[in-house]
Structure 1
C-alpha cells in the first residue's frame, strides 16, 4: 500500500499537527494546511465589485459581488466561498458560477478572507468562534447576505451557499448555523458540519473522519441551528475518489449527516451516471423531491470539478485544484432550481397523481385539475421533462426496467409554478442488465454495494467484495433491479 497504508496516514497527520503547532506559535497564525489549495490573485479584477459597510463584520472579511446587467428584483442569490490561499477573484475566474449567473439570472456574493485572519487565507471552519451562528466569520457572511439582498432586491427564499475545501467545510457549518437563511448548499471536497473544533481535530477530520452514526452527525447540525428548526436546506456533496487531502470518507459522513437531518435513510432513492466519470446518488424526501445529492467523481483528486468549454453544461477553467472532469456549478445550479425550475407560485399541489400505464420506454400518468392552473409541469426524478395543458402526460425515452419518481406541478397564468405533488414511483417494463467497474468505495457510494464492518458487499446478492476502500475494486453485474453479483471477468457485449 505504500503511503496509502492507514498507519502511514495517521502518523503523517500527527506529524503535520505537531509541525503546524510549532509553526503557528512562531508565526502567530492558524491555518488548515499550507498546500491545501493553489494560490490566486487578490480580488480586484473587472467583473467583481467590492462592497463595504455591510455590517459590523466581526470576522474581518471582505465582500465582493457580481450581478448580471438588468438583474430583475426577486432574483436568487448564491454565496461562493474560496479555498485556502485563494481569493474571491480566483474562485470567480475558475469556478464557472458567473456563466450561470448570467444565464439563469442571479447575483453572486464572494466573501474573501486574508492572511490577517489565517496565515494561508483559509476560512476558519475549525474554530468555534468563527463557525457558529452569530459569531465571527459566520456572522460576517450572514451580514453580506443581508447587504446583497438589499442591494439587488433579492428573494430571501432563494439564497444558496457553496464552497471548496475549507470553503466547503465552512459551507457545511453555515448551513447548520443558518438553515433559516439558506435554501440549499453545495459542499465541494469538504467536511461534515462541526467535524472539528481545533487545528488537531481538523487534521483528523481531513485524513480519517470520525465514523459517527447518522444520528450523531445529524445532532451536530440540529444543536447548531436555532431551536425548533424543522425546515432544512437541500444539500449537494461533491467528492473525488482520488482525493488524498480531504479523504473520500468525508463525503459518506456528510451524506449520513444531512440525510439524518432530513429524516431520510442512507440508501439512495436512485443513482445515475453522469459525464466525467461522475456517479450521482439521490436521496429523496418524503414528497419524492431530492433533498441530498452526492456526486462522486471517479479518479478526481482534491479540487473543484470544472469542464471548460462553451457547451450548455460546461463551465470554468482548469488549473491547480480546478480539475477538468464535469461542471459542478451547472449540476448544482440545476439541483437548486436556479435554471427556472423553482416552485415559487401560490397554486396548491395537484392531487390524485396516478401512473396509468408503462412500457419499456414510457410512463403515463394523470392527476386532478387545479383551479387557476394554466398548465402543468411534469418532473421525473426532480428534473422537469415536460409541460402540458391537460391533466395527463406520457414521459418517453426511458430505460427498460428502471424505476422513476414522477411529480406534477400547477403553473399559473403568470408562469409561476406552485407546490409539487407527492411523488409516485413508476417502473418501465423489461430489464436491461448493466455492468459497473469501480473501486469498492465508489460502488458503495453509488448504491451498488453496502458497507458492514469495514467491508463491502454486493447489494442484493450479499457477495463479499473485500475492504471498503478506494484500493479494492470489482466489476458488478446488475442481474435484476437492485441485485448485483461480482463478475470480474467483465460484462458481455
Structure 2
C-alpha cells in the first residue's frame, strides 16, 4: 500500500517478478493522486540523520537511521517513525517535524527505511504476514532497531513509541498489536486497522472499502497477534483526513472500533474538542480517566501527514508530497504520549485523593484536592497532558472552550522532582455556549472548517448533514450549536 501506489510485495527473494513490475508501471499513473509517476525514494543523507548498522539479523532487509539531540540524557523516551510509500527516512526526517520535538522535549528518533528491493513503491509490507507478524520479517527488523537504539542511547524501554504514515501507518498498527510489550503508544496517520489484510487483493479492499467488522472482531485480531496473556495495551492516536481517497476515512472508524475494544472502552467519545486546521479531536478515556484512544479527523485533508510549517509552539514540519499544511500532527501526538513532560508517575508519593471541581466559568475550571504529606508541588494534567504545576492543593485551568467537558488528574511531586501516582480523574464542564450562524458557499464553509468535502459533495462538520455539491456557487446556512458541531439551518438561524 502507499499514498498513491499499489501495495505490491516482492517475492521472498525481495524482487517482484517482471510481469508484476510491468503491471505496476502501467497502472501507477492511474493510481497516483497527482497524476504523476512513481517517485524514486532518495537515500537518507540529511544532516543530523545518522545511519546505524549492526542492529541484528535484520530479516526484513531494512535500513536503520536515527536522530538524537546533543547531550541526550539516559532514560529519555524513544520514537520510531515509519515513512510512507515512495518516501525514505531522510524524507520523513525533513518533513514530519519529529526532529523539532526531539530537540524540544529530549528524545531519540529511529527512522526505519525500506526500499524498492522489498516493495516496488518502497512501501512497508503491512499486508504480508511474513513481514508484519511478531518475530518475522520487517516487523522483527523494526523490533531489533528498537533494541539497538535503547542500548545505544540509554533510552527508557518503558517509553518507546511508534508512528507511521499510510503504509507506515498500517505497519504501525501491526507493530502495536504484535509488540504491546515494546510500545507504550502509537500514532497511525492515514493508515489501516491492524491485520486488516493478509494479501495484495485484501490490501486494496482495506484501503478503499474496509470491512465493517464489529469492534470485538477487530479487537480479536489484535489480541491474537499479541503474546498470550497480554493485559497492558499501547495508547493509540488515529489521524485521518476526511477527503482521503487513497485510504478512505472509514478506516479511521474501524481503527477506533478496534483499539477501543482492546482497551475495553466504548466507541462513544468521552469528549470532543475543536483544534486548528479544521480538526476535530475525539477522546476515549480509560477507566482512570486517561486518554486511551484519540481520533483526529482533519476536515478536507487528502491523503498524507498533517503538518503546519512555522515557528510557533504548535507548528512543525514542511510541506511536500503527502505532507499537507493543516495542523502539526507530530506536536499533538507527542503531547498525547506525554513526551512534553517528565512527570511520568515514577516517584514514591501516593496519589492525591479528593480531587474535586470547585467551580467553572465559560473558559476556566477550578480544582482542589487533599494535600499529600511531603509533596513539594503538584502537577496537573488535562486529558493526560500536563497543563500546569502548583505548590498548593488547588489549581485553576484557563483558556478553555465554552460548553466543553475536560478530564483532570493530579500527581504529587517530591523534593527531587519525581511525580508520584496519579489521582483518579475528575470531569469539569465549562459553562455557556453562544450559537453562531454562518451563510456562505459550500466552498467557503469547507475552507473555514465548518464543513468537509467527500467525493465532490459537502457535509456539515459534526452532524455530517449533506449540504450539496462542493463548489463556490452553492450557498447554505450553518448553525454552530456546540464546539465543532454544525447543523444545516437554511430555513432560519436565530443566534
TM-score between the two structures when normalised by the length of structure 2: 0.85
- Cα distance in 1 between the residues matched to 2:311 and 2:210: 38
Residue in structure 2 matched with residue 320 of structure 1 by the alignment:
321
- Cα distance in 1 between the residues matched to 2:379 and 2:476: 41
Residue in structure 2 matched with residue 432 of structure 1 by the alignment:
434
- After superposition, the C-alpha distances for 1:101-125 in whole angstroms (9 at most, x for unaligned) are 1111100101111111112111110
- Cα distance in 1 between the residues matched to 2:423 and 2:24: 47
Cα RMSD (Å) of the superposition?
3.3
Q: What are the equivalent positions in structure 2 for 1:36-435 lying under 5 Å apart? A: 39-340=40-341, 342-346=343-347, 347-433=349-435
Q: 1:95 to 1:485 in 2, by over 3 A?
A: closer
Q: Is the 8 A contact 2:94 2:318 kept in 1?
A: yes
Q: CA deviation at 1:47?
A: 1.4
Q: Is the 8 A contact 1:271 1:447 kept in 2?
A: no
Q: Is the 8 A contact 1:206 1:250 kept in 2?
A: yes
- After superposition, the C-alpha distances for 1:441-475 in whole angstroms (9 at most, x for unaligned) are 89xx99944xxxxxx6xxxxxxxx469x9999987
Q: Is the 8 A contact 1:193 1:221 kept in 2?
A: yes
Residue in structure 1 matched with residue 446 of structure 2 by the alignment:
none
- Cα distance in 2 between the residues matched to 1:26 and 1:363: 64
Q: Is the 8 A contact 1:241 1:470 kept in 2?
A: no
Q: Is the 8 A contact 2:300 2:452 kept in 1?
A: no
- Cα distance in 2 between the residues matched to 1:473 and 1:150: 60
- Cα distance in 1 between the residues matched to 2:452 and 2:310: 29
Matched residue SS, 2:181: coil
Q: Is the 8 A contact 1:438 1:475 kept in 2?
A: no
Q: What are the equivalent positions in structure 2 for 1:456-467 lying under 5 Å apart? A: 465=465
Q: Is the 8 A contact 1:55 1:140 kept in 2?
A: yes
Matched residue SS, 1:429: coil
- Cα distance in 2 between the residues matched to 1:374 and 1:113: 49
- After superposition, the C-alpha distances for 1:257-281 in whole angstroms (9 at most, x for unaligned) are 1111111111111111111121111
- Cα distance in 1 between the residues matched to 2:126 and 2:454: 26
Q: Is the 8 A contact 2:452 2:460 kept in 1?
A: no
Q: CA deviation at 1:393?
A: 1.9
- After superposition, the C-alpha distances for 1:387-438 in whole angstroms (9 at most, x for unaligned) are 1111122223434433222211111222222232111112233343356832
Q: 1:24 to 1:40 in 2, by over 3 A?
A: closer
Matched residue SS, 1:70: coil
Report how many residues are paired: 461
Residue in structure 2 matched with residue 459 of structure 1 by the alignment:
none
Tell me, which stretches of 5 or more residues in structure 2 are unaligned?
A: 438-448
- Cα distance in 2 between the residues matched to 1:405 and 1:282: 10
Matched residue SS, 1:102: helix
Q: 1:238 to 1:484 in 2, by over 3 A?
A: closer
Q: 1:446 to 1:264 in 2, by over 3 A?
A: farther
Matched residue SS, 1:398: coil
Matched residue SS, 2:65: strand
Moved more, 178-187 or 40-49: 40-49
- Cα distance in 2 between the residues matched to 1:231 and 1:396: 33
Q: 1:349 to 1:475 in 2, by over 3 A?
A: farther
Q: Is the 8 A contact 1:345 1:412 kept in 2?
A: no
Q: CA deviation at 1:479?
A: 4.9
Residue in structure 2 matched with residue 460 of structure 1 by the alignment:
none
- After superposition, the C-alpha distances for 1:317-370 in whole angstroms (9 at most, x for unaligned) are 111111111111111111111111542422332111122233344322221222
- Cα distance in 1 between the residues matched to 2:277 and 2:399: 22
Q: 1:373 to 1:213 in 2, by over 3 A?
A: same
- Cα distance in 2 between the residues matched to 1:473 and 1:393: 46
Q: 1:490 to 1:336 in 2, by over 3 A?
A: farther
- Cα distance in 2 between the residues matched to 1:388 and 1:117: 53
TM-score between the two structures when normalised by the length of structure 1: 0.85
- After superposition, the C-alpha distances for 1:287-343 in whole angstroms (9 at most, x for unaligned) are 111111111111111111111112221111111111111111111111111111542
